[in-house]
Amino acid sequence: MRYLLDVLLLLLLVFEMSFLYLPPFFHEFVGAALLVPIFVHLWQNRFFFKALTKGRWPLPRVLGAVVNFFLAVTCLTSIISGCLISNILFADIMPLPLRSSPVLFSVHSASARWFLIFAGLHFGLYVSVWWQKLQHVAGIMSRPFPAKVMTGLLALMMGAGGIYAAMQDKLLQRLEGLHVFMTPALQYDTAGYILTQLGIFLLFAECGWLFWHLALRRRA
């Protein structure tokens, strides 16, 4: 159940990032409803909050706390700003100056991209658990060499694909809150643009995985 929820969160986030290819009502509804699986995810990991005031704070723990903090900030900023500029779901309760505010639109656009990045970093911190399950399913738990080869190939493919996807969607400009009206990625069909957002997520998941292992080595 825990892993299915994580997959659901990833799918919803990637689809949300492909909003230009979705009906506006669907984008707004899923964006608001995203809070439900997020709260379930937080409840499943409530031990993390209970342990915040206990024990030592080595570098890996600090890294995890920082990533999780900014993940929460960008998530809430994206959802709240999205509700404020809603033109369908909350149009009757949100005043027109808010719904048409270019500043709020920029905040929503930029925070959504930062949310995607920190979601990738967050996933990367715990990707070793997923990788162990994949190794088990593939039957290579007792053969480390094939696992290392698969890891290396996947890392290269994810890194190259993610960098290309970020460039195609002008991620840096979007992170700055600039109005980006056209990108090479927007010339793709729906599936192509969804894969672009997934590629960006996986790029930062790989970065999170690398940061985690560097932090573990620094601690040692």
Q: Structure pTM?
A: 0.88
What would you report as the CA-atom Rg of the chain, rounded to the nearest whole angstrom?
A: 19
Per-residue pLDDT of the chain in tens (220 residues, 90 and over written 9): 677 888 889 899 998 998 888 888 999 998 888 889 899 988 888 887 777 778 888 888 899 999 999 999 999 999 999 999 998 988 888 888 888 899 999 999 999 999 999 999 999 988 776 666 665 655 655 556 666 677 778 778 888 999 999 999 999 999 988 888 789 998 999 999 999 999 999 999 999 999 988 888 876 5
* 33/40 Cα distance (integer angstroms): 12
3 state SS of 94: coil
Residue with tokens 């399950």: 133
3 state SS of 179: coil
Confidence at residue 195, expressed as pLDDT on a 0 to 100 scale? 93
**166 Cβ contact list (under 8 Å, min separation 6):** 172, 199, 200, 203
- Contact, 103 vs 185, CB < 8 A? no
Residue with tokens 């915040």: 52
